[in-house]
Structure 1
Amino acid sequence: MQQVDFLVIGTGIAGLTYAYKMASRYPDKKVLILTKADAEETNTKYAQGGVAVVRDWQNDSFEKHIEDTLIAGDGLCNEKVVEIVVKDGPERIQELIDLGANFDKEESGDYKLGKEGGHSESRIIHHKDITGWEMERTLLNAVAGMSNIEIINHCFVVDIITQHHLGYLVTKATPDIECYGVYALNQKTNDIETILAKTTYLATGGNGQVYRTTTNPAIATGDGVAMVYRAKGRIENMEFIQFHPTALYEPGLRGQAFLITEAVRGDGGILRNKKGEAFMARYDERKDLAPRDIVARAIDNEMKTEGTEHVWLDCRHMDQEKFIEHFPNIYEKCKSIGIDVSKDMIPVAPAAHYSCGGIKVDEWGQTSIKNLYAVGECSSTGLHGANRLASNSLLEAMVFAHRCFLHVSHKVDNNLLSEHPTRKLNIPAWNAMGTSTPKELILITQSLKELQQVMSDYVGIVRNNIRLERAIKRIDLLWEETEQLYKTSTLSPNILELRNLITVGYLIVKGAIFRKESRGLNYNTDYPYKSKLIQNIVL
């Protein structure tokens, strides 16, 4: 059993920003970071486009960024949170620059500002087409210099420890559910370790792997959301899954698809259908720079109408020297599969990209469980509403990491966190009695394929009630089979991820069933119009 002051789950921008700030403020206290893969393998790493932040004060303003965010969110944004994130953004990005992050600059020395769908002005600060990688690099370097931060790689968090593990009945109606720490599978020793902490901070990322094709890495299995749901914490708006309109189409691909950032369209790329028509004008006056939900549905409709598996992104007319400078990785990826962007159009199709819902938190990142915080894609702050505005996610992670840092610091400075209250509790060790190694891994791999197929076919960009009812029945069966396997098996990352993905799939479908309207990313042909407004759906 290990006890620490501050426990952080996840090494993306949300986790590392908070960990660095806590360790800097309290050099005598220990910050422990757990990650189930290598520290640099995160959703942050794969963010291409950049960070939306107001810097051009002549043409842009906080008011414009706020309005763009609210329009994209389709009536479900928390306006107070939107204002907080937009107005805190410049200071947070400057902190990262001060730590050594390199963003692209004009010859004048001003930062280059890109434009993406849904934005009325150019405000995307970026590092070529690997902005997330650059931010991740900067924060990992900063954290490496802190002697009171320990990172444990390949340590898979199994569950949050609450009163439930002390033998008490805990339900969603239980007042003051409290987090004492986590059980975690150390993949190097195969032991389940008990890690106790005064505060636990979840930065576990997204859940794109619940779909057959996603821009997310293999680690994006919704672990934080599933753990909090099992611990009877509040989850909201899981039905709002954003499909990125332009993932590179490669025949037969399952899993992670290569992302073609929206910034390519911001620089002039044009979507075309099988006939070569620039079709977006038929769907929205903003054409190729409409918000992502509109563009993804338009592409989906063109593909179904023409009977194709992709559309085309035309960059042939663009300045090729500038294209290679701004999008070197996209250029090289296309080149590697025989596509010359100066002569050939790029085949693209939508892929699962971002979860706008998640663990319900307040404006300080607090979950409904005491001493448990959640930030980044695993959380639902109210910023994104029914559809995330492009490049607002990295901004949200930085702002809310800082707000959690302020909130926890206040508690520490005012002695509002008792000195390891967990010492007074008889936290049991993990009990693995009666379990054995699964004899057939196909029981896990096939269930995962079934889940991804169900979610992709029935709970994708366009939904209807018959598909949703069929999906929930199949997910219920998968849940029963997997729970039985989980109870009788020694734990492994494979079975833990499957269990978490099934829970996430269930939450997405349940949210979609309860939302009897088409709004933002939840488009249901049985409810083609918005209702008066169904508020946040909390599960």
Structure 2
Amino acid sequence: MSTIAVGNMTLPFYSANTVIVGAGAAAMNCALQLLKFRLQAGEKRPQDRLIVVTGGVKLGASRMSGSDKQTYYKMGTSPRISDTAEDFAKTLTAFGCCHGDNALIEGICSLRGFYNLVDVGVPFPHEPYGAFIGYKTDHDPYERATSAGPKTSKFMSECLQAQAKRLGLRVIDRQMVAKFITSGEGSGKRIVAMLCVDRSQTQKPNMGMSVFAARNWVLAAGGPGEIYRTTVYPRGQYGIHGAALEAGLEACNLTESQYGLASTKFRWNVSGTYMQVIPRIFSTNARGGDEREFLTEYFDDMPTMALNIFLKGYQWPFDAQRITNAQSSLVDMAVHQETVVRGRKVWMDFLRNPVGKVGWEEFNLQRLPNEALEYLQKTGAMQPLPIDRLAHMNKPAIEIYAENRIDLYKEPLEIAVCAQHHNGGFSVDKWWRSSISNTFVIGEMAGTHGVKRPGGSALNAGQVGALRAAEYISNMLFDEIPASPADLGDSVAKSVEQLQKLCAANSTAGTPKQALAEIADRMTRFGAHIRWRSGAEEALSQAKRQYFDINSAGLRVSSPRELPTAILAAQQCLTQVAMLKSIVGMLDRGAGSRGSHCILEESGAEMHPALIDPTDKKPYRFKPENVDLRNTILCTRFNPAAADLFELSDVSPRPIPNRQIAFEPAWTEFREKAIFRD
């Protein structure tokens, strides 16, 4: 480490060939693979030219969240179920807006990534003959899913980090990304440095700021989870989308996220066995009284209601195509109606079976439809109560709540429909290179998932993207030298000045916390699982106005300690504009309901007579999917001169490659590094 002078301040200056931003499972695997590649190439101390920079090693979705982070989706490993990488790719691309080459690579490299995790110590279970038996997850036609329990992604991150640490990996912690510093224009544009703020050092004369310079950047900081008020992302998971957008990276599929049922006191998805044990789901008023079995308004009988609760286990994401005709996502809409429209609280009770209304038969396991009954019989989960079935099938699912001071043996679990995962992100090619040279994007930040995806496929995508980025950097870019303090002095000074201006507002300006709350409320109301044109357009107008206000007048802060929050507010504000602009852009293109969101429209199909839109007191009606748009990916790029700050463009998904090549020429391509050329 050296220093760089900025005015009367002295900032720490770190230099490396490659900087990886983030410390989750994707980031740590990229670091590990890059070190291994360089050691295999004969380099003695590759760790001296690599740095992992993170806002919190023990924070983030990989370490602290459930659902997708419990399930690992890979090529099939069950001994009697055949699978191919091409079939895997077809599953990932089935619902559109997904590049076929990325999907095929995720299939081809999935077992390489999975067995690497096994080797570093992730306790994926296998049977006596060594087979890793799979199970079905949502949108999964095969038994490709596996799990190491509720803490799967946490185990992944920790085991990968431990292995990388043995190889000397440097991790600089508590660094919040404030700004990427770029040079050049057009195809010659590059990120040359990154300005960060250490939250614990803001009272120092340099306000806790540090500078990192590198030739290569791997962005792996997760999704923009806290952009929503109702979210199951871990607290503090803001991501760095705003900084990346401002730097010029092209984004794609920003309209596509996943939403579903999750607990709110301790943020955790209630998917899988939580639903498959078929607990009672009921509501109360805000004070906890006036209990109601509200699901009975939406289903005709006990077996149908119980089946759909069960199906939420592996049909967990809210799905616009599973609402009508008493399907499983009607449960999500019923919870939305109860919480958002009626202002009540919804609970899962594992101490009681579902309760029907007068005239219904009582809950009886033997009367369940075959799909649920056969599963419970096969797993031996025929105990009388949901809590006993859960303890039999997945005891760690109970323990994870106990660790967070929630005893499922004594109390119900409050739930809501929450934002869970961003399927969109930043555009990448087959090596996970972004639209800016020498910058790679992996993990949830990479927009590789399309409209729908199998549960757990995000973990596989993160591991594969990490491997691909590391392999490319090691073979093509690891000899490049980063910029020096002398090269960066003026650009760093300009960036520092912008941050100081952000916090120089007068007493009439809003505070950073007020700005963040406004953004979260707006996105939850207009940019989540229920959307409509007039609402999206008004939200975009409000978001732009907020962005211009923040950039012209700044935010009101009372001490330097609020600098990180002010930076977050500015970044989240730009991110919400990008997301809302993309939503409006898709509506302009004739988009209907798809993936995990519904587009409301008066001429659309009725969801259910009991689902009442509070704006007109009529049943919700939603527009069907425009399937033609599956063949178009909407891309979004920041342009401060544009009317809405962003320019939109359409690209066709790249097809699944069908390349036939004999071994000898393939070997030649590999030896001569032709595989890395476009």
Q: The TM-score by the shorter chain falls in which range?
A: 0.7 to 0.9
Report how far residue 269 of structure 1 moved: 4.2
1:179 pairs with 2:191:
yes
User: Out of 248, 261, 265, which is 2:263 matched to?
Assistant: 248
1:284-299, aligned counterparts within 5 Å?
A: 289-290=314-315, 292-294=317-319, 297-299=329-331
The equivalent of 1:419 in structure 2 is: 481
Q: Does 1:33 align with 2:55?
A: no
Shift of 1:219: 3.0
2: distance between equivalents of 1:408 and 1:199? 8
In the alignment, what sits opposite 1:524?
A: 599
CA distance in 2, matches of 1:97, 1:407: 24
After superposition, what is the alpha-carbon deviation per residue over 1:299-358, rounded to whole angstroms, capped at 9, x for unaligned?
3422356655547587956456673365444314556545339xx875533210111111
For 1:97-246, list aligned pairs within 5 A. 97-106=118-127, 109-147=130-168, 149-163=169-183, 170=185, 174-189=186-201, 190-223=207-240, 225-243=241-259, 245-246=260-261
Cα deviation, residue 49, structure 1: 2.2
Are the counterparts in 2 of residues 114 and 263 from structure 1 also a CA contact under 8 Å? no
User: Taking structure 2 as the reference length, what is the TM-score of the superposition?
Assistant: 0.69
Q: How does 1:420-459 map to 2 (within 5 A)?
A: 420=482, 425-428=487-490, 429-431=492-494, 432=496, 435=501, 443-459=511-527
Q: Which residue of 2 aligns with 1:253?
A: none
Give CA deviations for 1:89-139 in whole Å, capped at 9, x if unaligned: 111110111112111344555434333222223322211221111111201
Q: Rate the CA distance shift 1:193–1:289 in 2: closer, same or farther, 3 A.
A: closer
| 2:473 is equivalent to residue 408 of structure 1 | yes
Partner Cα separation in structure 2 for residue 386 and residue 313 of structure 1: 32
User: In the aligned structure 1, how far is the partner of 2:428 from the partner of 2:599?
Assistant: 27
Which residue pairs with 2:408 in the alignment? 339
Pair 1:494-2:565 in alignment: yes
Query: Is 1-10 or 431-440 further displaced after alignment?
Result: 431-440
After TM superposition, give the deviation of residue 234 of structure 1 in Å: 0.5
Q: CA–CA distance in 2 between the matches of 1:108 and 1:25?
A: 32
Deviation track 1:272-321 (CA, whole Å, cap 9, x = no partner) reads: 67245566799999776436242685334223566555475879564566
Instruction: Structure 1: state its 5+ residue gaps.
Output: 251-255
Shift of 1:6: 1.2
Pair 1:247–1:284, CA change in 2 (3 A): closer
Structure 2 CA distance, aligned partners of 1:246 and 1:186? Answer: 34
What's the secondary structure of 2:628's corresponding residue? coil
Give the deviation of 1:22 after TM superposition: 1.4
In structure 2, how many angstroms separate the alpha carbons of the residues matched to 1:19 and 1:511?
33
Q: CA deviation at 1:494?
A: 0.8
What secondary structure does 2:188 align onto? coil
Distance 1:305 1:11, change over 3 A: closer
Equivalent residue pairs, number: 512
Other structure's SS at 1:40 match: coil
1:350 is paired with a residue of what secondary structure? Answer: strand
1:42 is aligned to 2:42: no
Deviation by residue 1:343-396 (Cα, 9 ceiling, x = unmatched)? x87553321011111111111111111111110111113xx2112321001100
Superposition TM-score, scaled by structure 1 size? 0.85
* SS, match of residue 181 in structure 1: strand
Going from structure 1 to structure 2, the CA distance change for 1:263 and 1:140 (only over 3 Å counts) comes to farther
Q: Judging changes above 3 Å, is the alpha-carbon distance between structure 1 residues 479 and 397 closer, same or farther for their aligned structure 2 residues?
A: same
Amino acid at match of 2:476: K
C-alpha spacing 1:287/1:449, structure 2 compared with 1 (3 Å): closer
CA RMSD of the aligned region, Å? 3.3
**Which residue pairs with 2:268 in the alignment?**
258
Matched, 1:537 2:634: yes
How far off is 1:187 after superposition? 3.3
The equivalent residue for 2:422 is 355
- 2:616 is aligned to none
Give the whole-Å Cα distance in 2 for the aligned partners of 1:496 and 1:131: 32
Q: 2:542 & 2:332 partners in 1: Cα distance?
A: 24
Given that 2:181 and 2:194 are in contact with CA atoms closer than 8 Å, whether structure 1 keeps it comes out as yes
Residues 270, 288 of structure 1: 8 Å contact kept: no
**Which whole-Å CA distance do the structure 2 matches of 1:386 and 1:17 have between them?**
26
CA distance in 1, matches of 2:99, 2:278: 32
Alignment map for 1:268-347 (pairs within 5 Å): 269=278, 274-276=294-296, 277=302, 289-290=314-315, 292-294=317-319, 297-303=329-335, 307=342, 309-310=345-346, 312=348, 318=381, 323-324=390-391, 327-332=394-399, 336-337=405-406, 339-340=408-409
Q: Is the 8 A contact 2:89 2:106 kept in 1?
A: no
Secondary structure in 1 matching 2:269: coil
> 1:406: how far off?
1.3
- Contact 1:512 1:522 (C-alpha < 8 Å) held by counterparts: no
1:17 aligns to 2:29 (yes or no)? yes
Name which of 506, 510, 523 aligns with 2:581. 510
CA distance in 2, matches of 1:313, 1:107: 36
Counterpart amino acid of residue 525 in structure 1? L
1:278–1:438: structure 2 CA closer, same or farther, 3 Å change rule?
Answer: farther
The worse-fitting range, judged by mean Cα deviation, of 313-322 and 130-139 is: 313-322
2:111 and 2:526 map into 1 onto residues whose CA distance is 40
* C-alpha distance after superposition, 1:490-530 (max 9, x if no partner): 67221121122212211221111111212323421237123
For residues 139 and 269 of structure 1, do their structure 2 counterparts lie closer, same or farther at Cα, with a shift above 3 Å needed?
A: farther
What is the CA deviation profile of residues 372-425 of structure 1, one whole-angstrom value per residue up to 9, with x for unaligned ones? 1110111113xx211232100110000010011111122147xxx543366884
- Would the aligned equivalents of 1:280 and 1:298 in 2 still touch at CA under 8 Å? no
**Maintained 8 Å contact 1:281/1:287:** no
Write the deviation string for residues 225-260 of structure 1: whole angstroms up to 9, x where unpaired. Answer: 2122101221111111111x220255xxxxx72222
The answer to whether the Cα contact below 8 Å between 2:423 and 2:444 also exists between their aligned partners in 1 is: yes
In 2: Cα distance, 1:325 partner to 1:156 partner: 42
Unaligned runs of 5+ in 2: 1-12, 39-43, 202-206, 282-292, 297-301, 323-327, 354-364, 366-380, 602-621, 637-678
Deviates more, 1:368-377 or 1:509-518: 509-518
Do the aligned partners of residues 305 and 212 (structure 1) sit closer, same or farther apart at CA in structure 2, a change above 3 Å counting? closer
Instruction: Report the Cα offset of residue 176 of structure 1.
Output: 2.2
Aligned runs of 1:455-466 on 2, under 5 Å?
455-466=523-534
Percent identical among aligned pairs is 15
Distance 1:286 1:100, change over 3 A: closer
Cα gap change, 1:263/1:178 in structure 2, threshold over 3 Å: closer, same or farther? farther
Q: Are the aligned partners of 1:221 and 1:500 in contact in 2 as well (CA < 8 Å)?
A: no
Give SS of 1:468's match.
helix
Distance 1:325 1:5 in 2: 50
Matched AA of 1:323: L
Higher mean C-alpha displacement, 195-204 vs 40-49: 40-49
Are 2:20 and 1:8 aligned?
Answer: yes
Name the CA shift for 1:157/1:287 in 2 (closer, same or farther; >3 Å): closer
Contact 1:159–1:182 (CA under 8 A) maintained in structure 2: yes
CA-CA distance at 1:466 after TM superposition:
1.3
How far 1:211 moved relative to its partner?
Answer: 0.7
Query: Measured at CA, do residues 531 and 313 of structure 1 come closer, stay the same or move farther in structure 2, by a change above 3 Å?
Result: farther
